[in-house]
Each structure stands twice: as structure tokens, then as C-alpha cells.
Amino acid sequence: MGNLPAKVAFDFEQYARRVHGGPCFVCAFVAGDPAYRHHLVYENDDTIGFLSRDPTLLGYCLVAPKRHLENWVRDMEQPDFLSFQGIVHTVARAIAATLPTERMYSMSLGSQQGNAHLHWHLAPLPPGVPYHQQQFHAVMAENGVLRVDDDSQAALARDIRSRIQA
């Protein structure tokens, strides 16, 4: 699995306070709120992609529409959804071109109770992860998050961005 950063415990209480007491994290990031800064990997007029602040896997990214949408089934017409998924695919390919990736996990998470802004998670599983640590285990913060320093995240974001074809 290479030289991955160490995993540390995830502080769910602090996270829940931020989610329930703060603004929408995607809208705050799009608005430039420094408290919600992330490392950008993709941006166009409608969509933004960025590295997770608390990655369970190196290169874990989120891709979201800039406009506050909460439900892709109800809030997006099929052509818009397919266009959005094209960007998700583009970002996933750039991640996989940057990091050794056995499988790219892709999912939409969040709920009306927290992180309601529609966003897609892209989580690159590196080769060699034992089967019992793959799939849901690999993406659950309960199993720890990687301690990745800001400079490393910035460099990783630049590498991913450089592999996205405009």
C-alpha cells in the first residue's frame, strides 16, 4: 500500500457541531469562506471538485454543483445530471492517473440532517488493501482518517488538476 500517512481517530462530536451549527460547507467554500477552505481539483461555472479535509483514502475528493441542490433525483433534470456525472468521471480519471488505484469508489452521501448540499464522493482504493479493509470499511471515518498535512494536500490537488483535460 506504499507510504500512506498514518490514520488518526476522527472527532465526530466536533464534526457534528460544525455540520449542524455552521453554514452549508459547499456553499461556504464556493463563497470563499476561509473557515471552509479546501484544495481545489476542478472548477467550472457550475461545478466544483476538491479534496476531502478528512480523507479516509489518499486522494479522496468531493464533486458538487456550485448551486445549492439537495437531491439529484428531484433537483436535476437528466441532461444536467448526465453532464454532472461526466465531470465526476473526469475527476475520477484524473485521481486514478495521479494515484495507484485498484478501484474508484463513487457515491452520493449527505442527508437533510447534515451536509444536505448534493455532492459526490470519489475515493480511490489503493492496490494491496486487504479485502476486510476495502469497500465500506475503507470510506468510513469511524475507522480513522489520514493525517495529511496541508502542503501535501496542496501538491496532490495540483497533480490531480494537471491531469484534467479542459
Q: What is the mean pLDDT of the chain?
A: 93
User: For residue 31, what is the DSSP state?
Assistant: T
Q: What are the distances in angstroms from CA 110 to CA 7, 49, 118?
A: 23, 16, 7
Total count of domains within the chain: 1
The answer as to whether 54 is a domain residue is yes
The answer as to whether 48 is a domain residue is yes
The answer as to whether 81 is a domain residue is yes
The answer as to whether 2 is a domain residue is no
CB burial of 46-78 (b: ≥16 within 10 Å; e: otherwise) equals ebbbbbbbebbbbbbbbbbbbeebeebeeebee
* CATH number of domain containing 129: 3.30.428.10
The answer as to whether 130 is a domain residue is yes
pLDDT of residue 6: 86
CB burial of 125-157 (b: ≥16 within 10 Å; e: otherwise) equals bbeebeeeeeeeebbebeeebbebeeeebeebb
Instruction: Give the model confidence (pLDDT) of 8-45 as tens digits.
Output: 898 888 888 888 888 999 999 999 999 999 999 999 99
The answer as to whether 39 is a domain residue is yes
Asked whether the whole model's pTM tops 0.85, one would answer: yes
How many CB atoms neighbour CB 29 within 10 A? 22
Q: Which structural domain, as residue segments, surrounds residue 19? A: 7-162
- Ranges of the chain with pLDDT below 70: 1-3, 166
- What CA–CA distance (Å, rounded) separates 130 from 78? 37
The answer as to whether 92 is a domain residue is yes
The answer as to whether 107 is a domain residue is yes
